Structure 1
Amino acid sequence: MALFHVQGVPIGYTAIMLAVIASMGGFIFGYDTGQISDILLMDDFLLRFAQCGTPGDVATCKFSTVREGLIVALLSIGTLIGALLGAPIADFLGRRRAMQIEALVFCVGVIVQIVTKSSWAQFAVGRLIAGLGVGALSAAVPMYQAETAPPQIRGAMTATYQLFITLGILVAYCISIGTRHASGGSSWRIVVGIGFIWPALLIVGIQFMPESPRWLAAHGHIAKAERAIAVTRGLPADAAASDYIIKREVEEIRASVEYERSVRKGWIDCFRPRHMILYRTLLGMTLQSLQQLTGANYFFYYGTTIFQSVGIADSFVTQIILGGVNFGCTFLGLWINNRFGRRKVLIIGASWQSFWLFVYAIAGTAKDPKTSKSIGDLMIVSTCLFILGFATTWGPCIWILIGETFPTATRAKQGALATASNWMWNFLLAFFTPFITRDIGFRYGFIFASCNLAAAVFVFFFLYESSGISLEMVDQMYNDPACKPWTSSTWAPEGYANRDELRQKIREEEAKKPLTAAHAEATQRTSTGSNGSFHDGEHISEKPLTH
């Protein structure tokens, strides 16, 4: 049974559930990211793994810069490797099986961390192993969501990955504050051990979701692909063979798969300049790198330590506030990115983030926040407002762009390269931040503020506006020599004056298309009443281009 209709086309509850369940992969990453900030300050963790001047006296225990950096950053090395392996694993095993196996790899990493008694290196290796699973999931999950969710809501469904990352961070903060005073190793082992729940939900839940129709079609299972689409539409499986909409989507998938087979590409093809392939590879890698250089993970990885240093009495509580702002504002980000496109959102977001990072850095540099409550409060407020900007713009928007910027033949590999660049910078920032803050303190904020300004300039000169048009048309736009990034917002295919005219024409054509009797009445009812709030232009036929 359909939950609602978009552009006259039914959307079933399974479409929503598959996005939510698959996004547990993002939750796993968010939880693992959020927990380490608080764990580093727990008494038992310090006594076991830090360097103590007086054995048994936690007041004399402190992590060396190298040790702290490795404990935090080795997760990112694992995610970098996992991201590169995620796409081929998902192609070989199928999207669902790949996610289940990758979740199990994460569980192995959790086990290694929990059984650690006194070796900080073992704990760090456990995070490395967990990172392999997280990185592979970061490649498989958005791919599965984009291929399985109905095209009319694809943008919003893919963005749930970022939403669940923020939720995972917030949940980790909340659990950590509840266990920090537990006796012995329970304080941090409970936090790490609860990490078993999230992959278990993914492993069990994804078993009841349909496999990617695109993967099924690529492996010759056309009938199963039809049934998978029917389920996401809220239709009976036995209606798949006769439903017009499903047959049309399957034919589009079949044509795309056949095209990919005829132009099968390798990794080297991602770096060929023809058809703007190299341009888009470098664009995706740079955007993912800039997402890290905004400075968000500076607060997520080391937030508790940072706010302890500004004199906050309970930095754990402050971290929860930041996590709540991050999670709550991501909902707003889903709407903003669908409503205002990509370029404008990223440029304004980077400018906003830069301003508040300058405030943060100036305040922390001008006066010692430990001796001035007003300065400490100003730094907390500026951090929250920075997080607000990130959660509504650079957080979700970059993941959406990775799914819609690349051409069909090289999309998986270009996406893997872009995601790997994210994890590489994630590692560099996580590892070197303790060294940098030791030497320049809160002036570190000036570096991130400058990076945000550079990001705004980069987006203006190099990113094309890809909202409101199909993936096929995105490819056409990048290959149109008359279109420039700063004019791309008004670009439309030949025969249309602008994108508004294009969208209106599509709505008119959609309303005229024959539907099954079960859908006819719903289409008539919603064709005038639906505002297409989830629509991101991706319902247009995505037949492959012939260059």
Structure 2
Amino acid sequence: MSSTILPHSQTQATATSGDKADIEMAEYTGTHGAVDEVKAGNVVPPSDFVNLNRLQTLRKFWKVTLFAFMVSFGATLDGFHQTIPGNIIANPGFIQQFGTVVGANGQLALDALHVSAWGGVLSGGNIFGNILGGFTADLFGRKFNMFLMTLLLMLATICEMVATEWRVWLASKLFAGIGNGFAQTALVIYNSEIAPPQIRGFLLSTWAFFYALGQLTASIGLQILATSSHPNDYKNSIYSEWVFTGIFLIFLVFLPESPWYHVRNRNHDKAKASLRTLYGNVEGYDVEHEYATFLSEVEFSERLRDEQKQAKWSEIFTGINGRRFMITAAIPLYGQLVGGSLIFTYLTYFFQLAGLENPFLASLIVFILLLAFIAVSFYTTDLVGRRPLLLGAIVVVVICLLGVGIAGSVPETPSSKNALIALACIWVVAYASGIAPCGSIYQGEASAPRLRAKTNSLSQALGQSFGLIFNYTVPIMLSPQQANWGVKTGYFFAGTAFLGGIILYFQMPEFKGRSYAELDELFQKKVPARKFRTTKTSHQLLAQGTEV
């Protein structure tokens, strides 16, 4: 078992029996060898719920699914605070309040360097929150990070409400960035530690869904504002943040601490209490048995650390754990290389510079598509798998970004504007179908269970360091006051997306249906990324031997 009792000990040995792909067997000694490994304590014994398929798991463990949704709802706060800064800057009332320069048309405009500073501080706060969150998640628990995240985002909202000059708005971005950093180290980690493997892709991708819901809500608020009788009163769109905050605080009251956190700290009674809250309604669920399975994996993981004589932080970057860290960090990094800052943070600003008459409406359409196709990924990530969805999405986004650059190179016409919207929509469909859901899934699955909080926090910090660069430079690329690339910025991101995609092809393995114990084994045996799906593990061999 791994970071969740039922989930991490389960395997999809029987569920994968229909795969037509050849199974790699060369490195394994057979069923009897697998049994011996378990007896020796080198392989964690399976749970009592090994053979459930996805639908059976969802029905049987509906309660833990509900808790996972409650946790992921916190991502709406993250998505809202990440989206508002780059889109509200196109609001005339906001420009009137914070504008400090006069444009070529003689009208008041925002200073591009101020816009870059807001984006840069937001990403800088993210990095700080990511790194600090790795410590606090292990020291004080996952729920502590969630409460701290909520407090910081509340402070950010208050600053946005009272800001009358650009420096106070800058302070709100600092609080929002740190709060979002805590969100990214708490929400995905918690769900990865309670989710059954058969539906782990589904539950981990709910983070991306609710994040997109926050983005969509921000766009809806801005669109309503733009068509209201008081379109310049931009603060009306900020007030809705309190609704999400209040709902999430109610959820936190009923949420138990992660059992994984309690097991690592040898709080046995508290761990069992968390298990009963999460899984106690399941018929046939033996808390003592599942807890023992859970504890055996923790002890096995710690024994590996002691044998390798690695320090808790240094081991993240070396050997097998170094490989796992790079997989965890890959999607946060790649999300920036494919133009995440361009499409999401500065989408309305981007459409405004492209000459669209209603940039808020265009951005609203984009975020509706994002939400819809992330919802589709709930099913496809566990059916199709992570790697095929990711690689397919990469091909599409590269083509779309190249098309955006071409659209910016031709004379501005109604057709070119429509083409730009269409390309942005296709980009978002591909991103939502593969890159967005796979990002949260790989972050939850790739790291060693005992290093999950630290690995996740550092990988997010690395991704946000790229975000810091692009959140600062994208407005400069777009702005007529600076580089004046405008829509041609698509060429730049087409190149970075293509180069990054080549690296991901050789780096990203398939985790579909694997327990965390199986993933540990595959990484220990240094199985190439392309062979993860077809390699049979000791758990699978053990299950076959048990059936015989």
Give the TM-score band, short-chain normalised: 0.7 to 0.9
242, 256, 272: which one aligns with 2:297: 256
User: Is 2:143 the counterpart of 1:67?
Assistant: no
Instruction: Read off the aligned partner of 2:500 and give its amino acid letter.
Output: A
Question: Once the two structures are superposed, what CA deviation does each residue of 1:287-325 show, in whole Å capped at 9, x if it has no partner?
Answer: 321122111331212211222233322111111000101
Q: Find 1:42's aligned residue among 67, 71, 91.
A: 91
> Structure 1 168/58 Cα, relative in aligned 2: closer, same or farther at 3 Å?
farther
Match of 1:225 among 263, 271, 291: 271
2:349 is equivalent to residue 305 of structure 1: yes
Query: Alignment identity in percent?
Result: 22
Once the two structures are TM-superposed, the CA of residue 41 in structure 1 deviates from its matched residue by 1.6
Find the counterpart in structure 1 of residue 512 from structure 2: 467
Q: What TM-score do you get using the length of structure 2 for normalisation? A: 0.82
Distance change in 2, residues 1:461/1:29 (3 Å)? same
436 and 112 in structure 1: CA distance in 2 versus 1, 3 angstrom threshold: same
User: Retained in 2: the 8 A contact 1:33–1:169?
Assistant: yes
Which position in structure 1 is the counterpart of 2:452?
A: 411
What is the match of residue 378 of structure 1? Answer: 419
Deviation sequence 1:435-462 (CA, Å, 0-9, x none): 1224222221112122222233112222
Distance in structure 2 (CA, Å) of the matches to 1:378 and 1:187? 32
Are the equivalent residues in 1 in contact too, given 2:91–2:232 (CA < 8 A)? no
The residue identity in structure 1 corresponding to 2:317 is: F
In structure 1, distance between residues paired with 2:431 and 2:416: 23
Q: Distance in 1 between matches of 2:359 and 2:327?
A: 37
Quote the residue 1:76 is aligned against. 123
Maintained 8 Å contact 1:51/1:64:
yes
Q: Is 1:246 aligned with 2:287? A: yes
Q: Which amino acid aligns with 1:46?
A: I
Q: Is the CA contact 2:118–2:173 (under 8 Å) kept in the aligned structure 1? A: yes
Read off the aligned partner of 2:436 and give its amino acid letter.
G
Aligned pair partner of 2:394 in 331, 345, 350: 350
Q: Give distance in 2, aligned partners of 1:12 and 1:469.
A: 18
Change in Cα spacing, 1:503 to 1:429, as seen in structure 2 (3 Å) is farther
Q: CA deviation at 1:192?
A: 2.0
Specify the alignment match of 1:17 in structure 2: 66
Correspondence for 1:171 among 197, 213, 217: 217
Partner of 2:244: 198
1:323 maps to 2:367:
yes
Is the CA contact (8 Å cut-off) linking 2:316 and 2:322 kept in structure 1? yes
Supply the distance in 2 between the matched residues of 1:426 and 1:215 (Cα, whole angstroms): 30
Q: What amino acid maps onto 1:476 in structure 2?
A: E
Q: Secondary structure at the match of 1:346?
A: helix
Contact 1:170 1:324 in 2 (8 A): yes
Q: Is the 8 A contact 1:33 1:301 kept in 2?
A: yes
Give how far 1:139 is off.
0.3
SS in 1 for 2:240: helix
Distance 1:191 1:495, change over 3 A: closer
| Contact 1:36 1:72 (C-alpha < 8 Å) held by counterparts | yes
Name the amino acid aligned to 1:469. R
1:104, 1:199 within 8 Å by CA — same for their partners in 2?
Answer: no
Aligned residue number for residue 31 of structure 2: none
Q: Separation in 2 of the partners of 1:354 and 1:305?
A: 22
Secondary structure (helix, strand or coil) at the match of 1:489 reads coil
* Greater mean alpha carbon deviation, residues 353-362 or residues 190-199: 190-199
**Residue aligned with 1:15, SS:** helix
Q: Within 1, Cα distance between the matches of 2:512 and 2:227?
A: 48
C-alpha deviation, 1:44, in angstroms: 2.1
Rounded Cα–Cα distance in structure 1 between residues aligned with 2:418 and 2:99: 30
Deviates more, 1:458-467 or 1:108-117: 458-467
Q: Distance in 1 between matches of 2:510 and 2:237?
A: 42
Q: 1:390 Cα deviation (Å)?
A: 0.2
2:126–2:179 CA contact under 8 A, matched in 1: yes
2:502 pairs with 1:457:
yes
Partners of 2:354 and 2:415 in 1: CA distance: 11
AA aligned opposite 2:250: V
Instruction: Check 1:478–1:325 CA distance in 2 against 1; reply closer, same or farther (3 A cut).
Output: same
Tell me: CA distance 1:186–1:198, structure 2 relative to 1, closer, same or farther (3 Å).
farther
Q: Aligned runs of 1:493-504 on 2, under 5 Å?
A: 493=537
| Separation (CA, whole Å) in 1 of partners of 2:366 and 2:285 | 48
Residue by residue over 1:85-129, the C-alpha shift from the partner in whole angstroms, topping out at 9 and shown as x without a partner, is: 112212222222331122011101211221112x20111111111
TM-score when normalising by structure 1: 0.82
Alpha-carbon distance in 1 for matches of 2:530, 2:216: 37
Number of residue equivalences? 487
How far apart in 1 are the matches of 2:111 and 2:294? 54
Could you tell me how far apart the structure 2 residues matched to 1:58 and 1:220 are? 66
Match of 2:411 among 360, 368, 372: 368
Alpha-carbon deviations, 1:425-483, whole Å to 9, x = none? 122111100112242222211121222222331122222222232222222222324x3
Amino acid at match of 1:457: I
Judged with a 3 Å threshold, the aligned counterparts in structure 2 of structure 1 residues 182 and 376 are, in CA distance, closer, same or farther, namely closer
Q: 2:521, 2:125 → 1: CA distance?
A: 36
Verify the 8 A CA contact 1:158 1:399 in the aligned structure 2.
yes
**Structure with higher RCO (Cα < 8 A, 6+ apart):** 2
Q: Tell me the equivalent position of 1:128.
A: 174
What is the CA distance between 1:258 and its match in structure 2?
3.4
SS in 1 for 2:60: strand
Tell me, what secondary structure is at the counterpart of 1:490?
coil
**Which secondary structure does the structure 2 equivalent of 1:334 belong to?**
helix
Between the aligned partners of 2:166 and 2:187, the Cα distance in structure 1 is 31
Contact 2:478 2:487 in 1 (8 A): yes
What is the distance in 1 between the residues matched to 2:61 and 2:199? 11
Is the partner of 2:356 in helix, strand or coil? coil
The one-letter code of the counterpart of 1:24 is F
Provide the residue aligned with 2:139 in structure 1: 92
Give the secondary-structure state (helix, strand or coil) at the position aligned to 1:433.
helix
1:31 pairs with 80, 95, 100, which one?
80
Would the alpha carbon gap of residues 408 and 436 (structure 1) be closer, same or farther in structure 2, given more than 3 Å must change? same
Candidates 100, 107, 112, aligned match of 2:159: 112
Whether the 8 Å CA contact 2:159–2:169 is kept in 1: the answer is yes
User: Is the Cα contact below 8 Å between 1:13 and 1:232 reproduced in 2?
Assistant: no
1:210 matched residue in structure 2: 256
1:478 aligned partner:
523
Q: Does the residue aligned with 1:187 lie in a helix, a strand or coil? A: coil
SS in 2 for 1:393: helix
- Measure, in 2, the Cα distance between the counterparts of 1:468 and 1:190: 45
Q: By how many angstroms is 1:12 displaced?
A: 4.2
Deviation at residue 380 of structure 1 after TM alignment: 0.7
Give the deviation of 1:375 after TM superposition: 1.0
Q: Which moved more, 1:243-252 or 1:6-15?
A: 6-15
Q: Provide the secondary structure at the position in 2 that maps to 1:311.
A: coil
How far off is 1:182 after superposition? 6.1
Instruction: For 1:468 and 1:128, locate their aligned partners in 2 and report how far apart those are by CA, in whole Å.
Output: 39
Deviation digits for residues 309-350 of structure 1 (CA, Å, limit 9, x no counterpart): 333221111110001011101012222221222222211110
